[in-house]
Structure 1
């Protein structure tokens, strides 16, 4: 009976996705943004461009301090940039009662959230209760308690006729898009193999850095970014993107039922050591604040559980996702990504290393199931079929049975540009009043897996 009730609940959520986020849709300029507690630079990246559907006046509610100052500085930078300057007008309220003030005034209808993840689900819940749509940076939740609240939030969103959506930028990286597209060419790819725990059908690995540049300037991190109780551990943070891509690429447009379609195998976590000098360089603070004292080791370094790995099965297909955080990338490098989808006839590999000048690149290699001539002919046919969707699509042999895939440079966009693409997709949902039926159930599936993996990994590594 309980299982039957759960399935009914999932069906209701799917109905919400297809039918209910904005019942009559929103017309041009009807969308007005509210930015709440912008503690992460992703909040500003949503406004790096203008949108014809969105009013230029944005209301900001935040506690006073350096975080809102940094956010407004980025908005000002975008307003004054020489290339396609924006024209946002920020109306700012500063105060400890920022959330209550926002809920009382409701100066807009879309709340943008990117900041302290500990409080994010509470902001989401209260915004939805007030009848506001929410566009939230990942991760939406960082533990099992948050996941339970997220399920209720989607139910409330259905009742209120509003839309909660998370910012999945990696769906818009062209090599990932091509990896997905080639995997769906069944005659060429041959479908995903089942794989094993030791040799999964899908592997996605991501390397990130605490110290980096954003919009051409060094990024200053808030001290809480290093507190996993506030930011979340790596296994529930960046892995959100990776789990999302596994679902989105492997089973496109399909509803994932997390109770039936996901089988957890195992997970692990480990820390990154941050020295006091690195912490000061990243945050500007000369000492670790008191809330980080429990994470300082005997050598005086900060241990941040920013790294993690999850092994699981999705619809009987073995998958592995892992994330690593280093302090800073080597000179000339940046965040890294590796992904492989293993099919019967071909492996689809995205690499982003020194050979690729630290820019992602898609390679296709033969599994040997076909002879060289047959594989080349199949690849040429797949490229021909996809060329109408991807301008300038072509392959170049780089080794026996291995090909590098490229497209017209106009299709290559940056990580910062992806935020506008996600936002435009979300605005389209709001305007049409519809969202694909798989989106909400698959968000639940994603956060079910990450929060369950965290709980399991913490149990395994507990002293």
Structure 2
């Protein structure tokens, strides 16, 4: 049975009605969010901060259940925290017809999507067709059929004058930003190497965990998160971030034509085994649902194809991305990232292991093409130049041509804080009415590669 729960006062309702005037004028404070079927905590992280351009009233449309309750609990946590609380007022519609209700009522003009990836492209397409802007968590699609629908959605977004964008938080991690900036200084870096399949010019590896904490509390995963038909395999999930960073760092502000600029060299996939006890701990469920029965091995473990690797060539440069999912990180650790960009004069490396206390650290290594003195002088000049934008950045020698880039705490932000940065960027696009010319074709290229890689990897027995 459909139910509607209203969490705002009549005064707020009156304010919302008044705010509907001038709906299409994005220059005024009438950007109004609609959260659709929030099945992932990333939907709530968009609202961990307030934005001057955005109305404080957010309409939520979702089926009844624990996923909606968890979303609302996070919003309430942000509203009631002691330090800089938010002021969101959630108006909730619960019912199986939540999508139709959202499209009929049109209570907002920006749809926020983070949840079940099996249905996400349908939600995107229908929202775009209805003339609504969409800010979607990754991945927007998880297979080649979805990719075709995504291409059509982008075409319809252009026709309808709305903006479709995905949430690429890793662009706002300071070590990655500095890695990119240093690679764009030819006098220091010397340009990106071409590399080979065995020794790519750029490599990105990511290790994630099913069980973790979010905003200080244990994260309860929905059972469908372990179903790759709904969540998507590792090759099309976290690798979305990695492929995006390869494009964004290696060819900034350049348009990528997936039909001509990308050649897939190879892809592979393999499962993570989640024990029944781990499944219960992660989901709160005592029994593995029937829809996961095909993934259960002889020992009762759920085999999740969350791991994968893609080797490819982008605009003539060899690249490799890989993702690994373990159940839980060792005490005191967390998700980790490794990245290397190889240039003529320097290699730029991000590590996040025990030596770095599991915090990302950027290193610079000489390739030996310059004398030690010449290399250090070039590095000093590069850091001085970057200091105009990133105040306080410095370097220290570790010996043997290796240097650590030291970053002041004022420039370091957390993964959760990056969601606000992405949202602010998207809001600026809405206010200007457009995105940079390269954003849409590069999103299309990114999802072409991930879904094509999955298609190829699934033809090989792991």
**Per the shorter chain, which TM-score range?**
over 0.9
Judge conservation of contact 1:28–1:54 (CA < 8 Å) in 2.
Answer: no
Match of residue 30 from structure 1: 30
Judge conservation of contact 1:28–1:52 (CA < 8 Å) in 2.
Answer: no
The CA deviation at 1:29 is 1.4
Judge conservation of contact 2:353–2:359 (CA < 8 Å) in 1.
Answer: yes
Residues 162-177 of structure 1: pairs in structure 2 closer than 5 A: 162-177=162-177
The CA deviation at 1:454 is 0.1
Aligned length: 440
Match of residue 256 from structure 1: 256
- SS of the aligned residue for 1:309 comes to strand
Q: CA separation in 2, counterparts of 1:331 and 1:30? A: 45
Q: CA separation in 2, counterparts of 1:84 and 1:232? A: 36
TM-score by length of 2: 0.94
- SS of the aligned residue for 1:230 comes to coil
Judge conservation of contact 2:192–2:343 (CA < 8 Å) in 1.
Answer: yes
Judge conservation of contact 1:268–1:461 (CA < 8 Å) in 2.
Answer: no
The CA deviation at 1:87 is 0.3
TM-score by length of 1: 0.94
The CA deviation at 1:27 is 1.6
Match of residue 227 from structure 2: 227
Judge conservation of contact 1:25–1:432 (CA < 8 Å) in 2.
Answer: no
Q: CA separation in 1, counterparts of 2:434 and 2:222? A: 37
Q: CA separation in 1, counterparts of 2:210 and 2:25? A: 39
The CA deviation at 1:399 is 2.3
Judge conservation of contact 1:24–1:433 (CA < 8 Å) in 2.
Answer: no
Match of residue 318 from structure 1: 318
Residues 270-281 of structure 1: pairs in structure 2 closer than 5 A: 270-281=270-281
Deviations 1:296-333 (A, max 9, x none): 00111000000000000000100000000000000000
Could you tell me which runs of 5 or more consecutive residues in structure 2 were left unpaired when the two chains were aligned. Answer: 1-22
Match of residue 435 from structure 1: 435
Q: CA separation in 1, counterparts of 2:89 and 2:411? A: 31
Deviations 1:383-442 (A, max 9, x none): 111110001010011121000002221110000000000000000000011210000000
Residues 41-190 of structure 1: pairs in structure 2 closer than 5 A: 41-190=41-190
Q: CA separation in 1, counterparts of 2:211 and 2:461? A: 27
The CA deviation at 1:24 is 7.8
Match of residue 405 from structure 1: 405
The CA deviation at 1:28 is 2.8
Q: CA separation in 1, counterparts of 2:285 and 2:427? A: 38
Question: Which structure exhibits the higher relative contact order, with contacts defined as CA atoms closer than 8 Å and separated by 6 or more residues?
Answer: 1
Match of residue 380 from structure 2: 380
- SS of the aligned residue for 1:460 comes to coil
Judge conservation of contact 1:139–1:236 (CA < 8 Å) in 2.
Answer: yes
Q: CA separation in 2, counterparts of 1:57 and 1:186? A: 48
- SS of the aligned residue for 1:245 comes to helix
- SS of the aligned residue for 2:347 comes to strand
Q: CA separation in 2, counterparts of 1:410 and 1:239? A: 29
The CA deviation at 1:461 is 2.1
Match of residue 303 from structure 1: 303
Q: CA separation in 1, counterparts of 2:80 and 2:386? A: 39
Match of residue 218 from structure 1: 218
Judge conservation of contact 1:25–1:430 (CA < 8 Å) in 2.
Answer: no
Q: CA separation in 2, counterparts of 1:28 and 1:74? A: 28
Deviations 1:49-93 (A, max 9, x none): 000000000000000000000000000000001111000000000
1:345 aligns with 2:319: no
- SS of the aligned residue for 1:74 comes to helix
- SS of the aligned residue for 1:417 comes to helix
Match of residue 5 from structure 2: none
- SS of the aligned residue for 1:390 comes to coil
- SS of the aligned residue for 2:259 comes to coil
The CA deviation at 1:230 is 0.1
Match of residue 239 from structure 1: 239
- SS of the aligned residue for 2:252 comes to coil
The CA deviation at 1:25 is 5.9
Judge conservation of contact 2:163–2:434 (CA < 8 Å) in 1.
Answer: no
Match of residue 8 from structure 1: none
- SS of the aligned residue for 2:460 comes to helix
1:425 aligns with 2:425: yes
Q: CA separation in 2, counterparts of 1:310 and 1:251? A: 19
Identify if the C-alpha distance between structure 1 residues 25 and 200 changes in structure 2 by more than 3 Å, giving closer, same or farther: farther
Q: CA separation in 1, counterparts of 2:461 and 2:147? A: 22
